Amino acid sequence: MVTLFALGSSLVWGTSDFFAGMASKRRHPVAVVGWTQGLALVALTALVLWNWGSVPWHGWPLWSVAAGLSGLAGLVCFYTALSTGTMGVVAPIASLGVIVPVTLGVATGDQPSSWAWVGMVIAMVGVTLASGPELSGAVSGRPVLLAVGAAVCFGCTLFSLDRGARSSTLMTLWGMRLTSVSLLLVLALLLRTTGGVERREWPALLAIGIGDLGANALFGLASSRGSVSLTSVLGSLYPVVTAGLAWLVLKERMRPVQYVGSVLAIAGAMVIALA
């Protein structure tokens, strides 16, 4: 069940990231982040109120704030990179942030089996190979820097989300969204703009926000019940989904090394699941 939750988070993350990248080509990435996060917070607040009587108020607050801050910075960097670079190669770079929770997880007591380590290495080599065209300098360097920044932020977010979810997945997600949306509201008031988003765009932005929220929830459920090292690797395979959708819908060209990387990423996930 833990493996299914973690892989499910990859599937949902990859799909929502694809559509977020599409939206960021029409609107400023900060506006996309703000609206998707804000609309998701409304839905999440309703769920929190529904479960108000059983809400715990300890263990998750500080971790949710840390996840909110790092997650916001990561999404802004990531959506900007997706809007200016090739989705199929920007997403794999961002997913390399998995190194952060793996390292922190092992440092705080995780003890993956030998086969699990083999699967983790294969999976991470896979996403690295899928990043080949960007890392070789074949395209603009700006999306690379943004994707690297997103990777570090996402890695910190995954670890913070795992720690908060051990107390309450729901409240960690709520505190995470409340933190990010509060900062974005302050920014909107200072700039006196909401990004030019029209009402007809709300359903699509809500769907993206719910998708990102759902992926975070699946990851929190997986990591709080298993090893953060293993679930982080499985949860970071979303570039395969994003790249596949970009190839299928946008007809983005992928180089042979990217196909090899995608196959290795899937193979690594299978080894981890069997381990």
| pLDDT (tens digit per residue) in 119-153 | 878 877 876 776 555 455 555 677 778 888 988 99
Phi then psi for residue 266, to 5 deg, are -65, -40
CA distance 263 to 197: 38
- Global pTM reads 0.80
pLDDT of residue 194: 78
pLDDT, the chain, mean:
83
pLDDT-derived band at 44, boundaries 50, 70, 90? very high
Of 30-44, 95-109, 175-189, the one with minimum mean pLDDT is 95-109
Average pLDDT over residues 100-108: 82
Does pLDDT of 60 surpass 90?
A: yes
pLDDT-derived band at 275, boundaries 50, 70, 90? low
pLDDT of residue 139: 54
pLDDT of residue 57: 85
User: pLDDT exceeding 70 applies to what percent of the chain?
Assistant: 92
Does pLDDT of 256 surpass 60?
A: yes
Average pLDDT over residues 149-158: 89
**Choice between 26 and 160, residue whose per-residue pLDDT is larger:** 160
**Choice between 98 and 139, residue whose per-residue pLDDT is larger:** 98
Does pLDDT of 13 surpass 80?
A: yes
Which range, 26-35, 58-67, 217-226, has the best average confidence (pLDDT)?
Answer: 58-67
pLDDT of residue 130: 65
**Choice between 203 and 232, residue whose per-residue pLDDT is larger:** 203
pLDDT of residue 273: 66
**Choice between 12 and 3, residue whose per-residue pLDDT is larger:** 12
Write the burial class of residue 225 (CB in 10 Å: 0-12 exposed, 13-18 middle, 19+ buried): middle
3-state secondary structure of 123: helix
* Residue 81 near residue 125, CB atoms below 8 Å: no
Structure tokens that stand for 34 in this block:
């703000």
Average pLDDT over residues 237-263: 78
pLDDT of residue 86: 66
Non-local (6+) Cβ contacts of 268 within 8 A are 119, 120, 121, 122, 123, 124, 125, 126, 233
* Residue 79 near residue 146, CB atoms below 8 Å: no
Does pLDDT of 193 surpass 70?
A: yes
**Choice between 86 and 239, residue whose per-residue pLDDT is larger:** 239
